[in-house]
């Protein structure tokens, strides 16, 4: 545990964890709602990806709070996230290019 974590009362952390879990459950319910919408078009896929990113961010926050002890680990995660975002951008551009060629 980091100094900040050990200073904080355990009940506070349980409350924060429960709140995070409730937020994740609400986001999953929102995903199901969006997926069930008829005629929403391409906006539906974008909304689903947006909700997914928020969910992943929340879980990472949960992990970060519980398990990050060293700044180097946080940096490593940041690099991985930037690389992942870069790869996603390249794939999206490639998909857009392929769609235009067709």
Partner 1 sequence: MSQVTGTVAAPAAHGSSRVGVAGMWTFLATDAMGFGGLFIAYGVLRVRAEAWPDPRAHLGLALAAAMTFGLLASAFTMTQAARATASRARLGWLAATAGLGLAFLWGELAEYRRLWAAADPVRMNSGLYGGTFYALTGYHGLHVLAGVVCLLAVALRGARPRTLEVVALYWHFVDLAWMPIFTFLYLMPTR
State the minimum distance, in angstroms, from the CB of residue 78 to partner 1: 13
State the minimum distance, in angstroms, from the CB of residue 52 to partner 1: 5
Binding site for partner 1 (CB under 8 A): 10, 13-14, 17-18, 20-21, 24-25, 28, 31-32, 34-35, 44-45, 48-49, 51-52, 55-56, 59-60, 62-63, 66-67, 69-70, 73, 76, 80, 84, 87, 91, 95, 98
Looking at the Cβ atoms of 7 and 70, the one nearer to partner 1 is 70
Closest CA to 60 of 33, 41, 45, 78: 78
DSSP state of 8: S
| Contact (CB, 8 A) for 62 and 48 | no
Give the count of alpha carbons within 13 A of 89, CB side only: 6
DSSP state of 37: -
Looking at the Cβ atoms of 18 and 82, the one nearer to partner 1 is 18
């Amino acid at each position: 545990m980091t100094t900040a974590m050990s200073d904080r009362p355990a009940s506070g952390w349980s409350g924060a964890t429960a709140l995070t879990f409730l937020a994740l459950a609400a986001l999953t319910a929102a995903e199901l709602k969006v997926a069930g919408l008829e005629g929403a078009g391409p906006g539906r896929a974008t909304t689903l990806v947006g909700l997914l990113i928020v969910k992943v961010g929340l879980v990472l926050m949960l992990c970060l709070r519980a398990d990050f002890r060293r700044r180097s680990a946080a940096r490593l995660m940041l690099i991985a996230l930037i690389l992942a975002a870069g790869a996603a951008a390249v794939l999206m551009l490639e998909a857009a290019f392929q769609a235009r060629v067709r």
